Structure 1
Amino acid sequence: QSFKGVLLQGYLLHPHVLRGLADFKIRNDDVFIVTYPKSGTTWMEEIVSLIMNGGDPDRVKNKLLVYRVQHLEVGPPVGHLWHLRKTRSPRLLATHLPLKLIPKQLQQAKCKIIYVVRNPKDNAVSYYHHHKMSTFLGNYKGSWDDFLTHYTGGHVVYGSWFDHVLPYWKFSLERPDRVMVVSFEELKIELGAMVQRISQFLGRP
Structure 2
Amino acid sequence: MRETAMTKLTNIESKGHCEEEKLSLKSDFHEELLQSLPKEKGWITQYLYLYQQFWYRPTLIQPTITFQKHFQAKHDDIVIASLPKAGTTWLKALAFATMKRHHFIPSQNDHPLLHSNPHTIVPYFETNIGDNPSVIPDLSTLPEPRMFGTHLPFPSLSNSIHNSNCKIIYICRNPFDTFISYWHFSNNIVPSPLPTLTLEEAFERYSEGIHPFGPFWSHVLGYWKASKDTPNKVLFLKYEDLKADINFELKRMAQFLDCPFSEGEESGGVIDSIIELCSFKKMKELEINKNGKALDGVENKYYFRKGETGDWVNYFSPWMTEKLSKIIKEKLSECSLSF
Q: Same fold (TM over 0.5)?
A: yes
For residue 5 of structure 1, report the CA deviation from its aligned partner.
4.1
Q: Which residue of 1 aligns with 2:168?
A: 113
In structure 2, runs of 5+ residues without a counterpart are 1-47, 261-339
Q: Which residue of 1 aligns with 2:24?
A: none
For residue 162 of structure 1, report the CA deviation from its aligned partner.
0.4
In structure 1, runs of 5+ residues without a counterpart are none
- Is 1:8 the counterpart of 2:61? The answer is no
For residue 160 of structure 1, report the CA deviation from its aligned partner.
1.2
Secondary structure of 1:200's match? helix
TM-score (normalised: structure 2): 0.55
- Is 1:190 the counterpart of 2:245? The answer is yes
Cα pair distance change 1:160/1:193, threshold 3 Å: same
For residue 9 of structure 1, report the CA deviation from its aligned partner.
2.7
Q: Which one-letter code corresponds to 2:125 in the other structure?
A: L
Compare relative contact order (CA 8 Å, sep 6+) and give the higher one, 1 or 2: 1
Q: Distance in 1 between matches of 2:193 and 2:77?
A: 34
Query: Residues 147-162 of structure 1 correspond to what in structure 2 (within 5 A)?
Result: 147-162=202-217
Q: Which residue of 1 aligns with 2:78?
A: 31
Q: Which one-letter code corresponds to 2:161 in the other structure?
A: L
Identity %: 27
Q: Which one-letter code corresponds to 2:256 in the other structure?
A: F
Q: Which residue of 2 aligns with 1:60?
A: 112
For residue 136 of structure 1, report the CA deviation from its aligned partner.
4.9
Runs of 4+ off more than 3 Å: 83-86, 136-140
- Is 1:143 the counterpart of 2:191? The answer is no
Structure 1, 194-203 or 83-92: larger mean CA deviation: 83-92
For residue 88 of structure 1, report the CA deviation from its aligned partner.
2.8
Q: Distance in 2 between matches of 1:138 and 1:182?
A: 38
Aligned length: 203
Q: Distance in 1 between matches of 2:226 and 2:148?
A: 18
Cα pair distance change 1:203/1:117, threshold 3 Å: same
TM-score (normalised: structure 1): 0.89
Q: Does the 8 Å CA contact 2:55/2:215 hold for their aligned counterparts?
A: no
For residue 124 of structure 1, report the CA deviation from its aligned partner.
1.1
Cα pair distance change 1:68/1:80, threshold 3 Å: farther
Secondary structure of 1:113's match? strand
RMSD of aligned C-alpha atoms? 2.3
Q: Which residue of 2 aligns with 1:41?
A: 88
